[in-house]
Amino acid sequence: MRRILTLVLAFLLLGAGVALQPSQEPTPPAKTQTKEQTVYTTNSGRKYNTATCRYLSKSKIPISLKDAKAQGYSACSVCKPPQ
């Protein structure tokens, strides 16, 4: 009988010890790095293109999508780059 009481008491103490431990707050999600989208322009055009667009045969100038929009470039209707 004494052995059973000892086991029950040990079980209760272990359970209470787990319950009394400070709860761990979930870690906030890591900030995702925003990867800048690269698009391409030409020397003479006013459109931005994907890397494989047929209009880039003579010149292919890399630029970020954000900068292309800021400089007044618009999306090519042939290759349909991200907008």
Q: Residue 47's pLDDT is what?
A: 95
Q: Residue 61's pLDDT is what?
A: 95
Contacts of 9 (CB under 8 A, 6+ apart): none
Nearest to 58 by CA among 47, 43, 48: 43
How confident is the prediction along the chain (83 residues), in pLDDT tens digits per residue?
777 777 777 777 776 555 555 666 666 666 555 578 999 999 999 999 999 999 998 899 999 999 999 999 999 999 999 88
Q: Residue 43's pLDDT is what?
A: 93
- Is the Cβ–Cβ distance between 57 and 78 less than 8 Å? no
Q: What is the DSSP letter of 47?
A: E
74: three-class secondary structure by DSSP? strand
CA distance 55 to 42: 8
Q: Residue 8's pLDDT is what?
A: 76
Q: Is the dihedral of CA 63, 33, 82, 58 positive or negative?
A: positive
Q: Residue 52's pLDDT is what?
A: 94
Tokens (6 digits) for 69: 């929009």
Q: Residue 30's pLDDT is what?
A: 60
